[in-house]
Amino acid sequence: MTEIRVIWSGTVQAANLKADDDGNDSAHPTLIELSPLDLSPLLRGSIQKGLLFRIPPSHDKSSVITNLRQSLSSTLDFFPPLAGRFAVVQHHDGGDSSSSFFIDCNNAGALFVEAVAPDTTVADILEPTYVPHVVSSFFPLNGLKNYEGTTNPLLGVQVTELNDGIFLGFTMNHAAVDGVSFWHFINSWSEISRGSNQISKPPLLQRWFPPDITRPIRIPFTIPPREQQNLAALSEQRLFHFPKEKIAEIKVKANTEANTDTVSSLQALLSHIWRAVIRNQSVDPEKEMSCLLGIGTRGKITRPPLPDNYFGNAVQLAGRVTMKAGEVVDEGGLGKVAWNLKKMVSSNTEEKLRSRVDSFLKEPRLQTLSEVLDDALLISSSPRFDVYGNDFGWGKPVGVRSGAGNKRFGKVTLFAGEEEGSIDIEACLSLPLLEAMGNDSEFMAFVAH
């Protein structure tokens, strides 16, 4: 494999956004205030996910790329925030300095990059045990923090032409969208790319705010020094594939050990993964370890409600389970961990989620990725997202990978597997730990080889 070469880079604007005489689009707002849930990730990095495709010989690659650019422009008509930029209003009244953040739907455009990697094949990406380092080069806007959306696009797309396929790398600003909205946009774009003039799920662009609060929201904001990434910890990533039937076995085992039948398949699988991560490190059994999950608020917050098509951030990093290392890995630990995960998820009621928002409004604090992760295993993304249904007109993806955004030691990304009901996990851990997990018979007994 060789490094990639960029052959074109430019912006793609929404095709038909037209404002009225007052400067307001009749269907969409032109200025969108960021909500408390949008503001929280300002200091962190973008969402980066990508899809790998084989291109049938009947499809000319240059025509495929032209169609992608044109259909992106048409799709942005439905998602004008992603063609905009952040706007910041500074407040200096009363001796206090604070800022308010908005999305200016000014149609400045999304970044579109065309690149080639002629010596790289689809198999070069799919077959290695560890994710090839070149994959991080398949994504645009690398290294940006979300607050930098004032001068950088909120959406970047890179189409990398491989020897026998293409890789579509998507980068979206995490203060503008969460994972649900990320895939909502990609799913809609694939519909338009296949020839539709409409999308099956129009987005709700108005942001959610608690009632009776002072707006715009003001937060203290200063640009922090750049975080130093732990490059050694980022040196390798590995995908583990869990077939549907093996996940079912883990679920039965977890429920049996917990003497219940209410532990979900995902809770059981996450417990299995966390136990393997701890078991294969030299950790003091008395040391407290944490597993951190994002808790979605769509369907949970009802005043006012957050529907499925809500386009923005509707997730809180509120799901933390802390246990002693020995408790996690001891006999019967699978059931104990799974039960604690279940209790944590159930405890995140609407009242608790709203309380966290209220606390943020009273004392806004923006966390960096290192502060969020700390010593925790961070579970990211969801197997519920429609990844393999994204047919842009030449067939479904054959693989999915994530970029370097928000990557640190301890991050586990979940994807739906290619076969129905299966799940892939992409683990960002040290090479010795990944090697140890690969040799761990208790862990690998449920992994497809």
Catalytic residue, candidates 174, 178, 272, 424: 174
Catalytic residue, candidates 25, 124, 164, 391: 391
Characterize 332-361 residue by residue with b for buried, 16 or more Cβ atoms within 10 angstroms of its Cβ, and e for exposed.
Answer: ebbbbbbbbbbebbeebeeeebbebbeebb
SS3 at position 348: coil
Spatial distance between the Cα atoms of 277 and 294, rounded to a whole number of angstroms: 19
Q: How far is CA 116 from CA 65, 125, 133, 135, 167, in A?
A: 12, 15, 16, 13, 10
Q: How far is CA 59 from CA 162, 187, 191, 193, 256, in A?
A: 14, 21, 18, 14, 51
Contact 236, 248 (CB under 8 A): no
Q: Which of 156, 190, 167, 67 is nearest to 115 (CA)?
A: 167
SS3 at position 226: coil
Q: How many other C-beta atoms lie within 10 A of the C-beta of residue 96? A: 9
Spatial distance between the Cα atoms of 406 and 226, rounded to a whole number of angstroms: 13
Q: In this structure, are strands 411-416 and 377-381 parallel, antiparallel, or unpaired?
A: parallel
Spatial distance between the Cα atoms of 342 and 337, rounded to a whole number of angstroms: 9
Terminal-to-terminal C-alpha distance of the chain: 24
CB proximity list for 43: less than 8 A, separation 6 or greater: 145, 146, 147, 224, 366, 367, 368, 369
The helix-helix angle for 333-347 and 265-279 (nearest 10°) equals 120
Concatenated DSSP letters of 107-126: ---EEEEEEEETT--HHHHH
What is the residue type of 88? Answer: V
Spatial distance between the Cα atoms of 206 and 29, rounded to a whole number of angstroms: 8
Contact 309, 201 (CB under 8 A): yes
Spatial distance between the Cα atoms of 90 and 149, rounded to a whole number of angstroms: 16
Q: How many other C-beta atoms lie within 10 A of the C-beta of residue 19? A: 14
Active site residue 391: yes
* Catalytic residue IDs: 174, 391
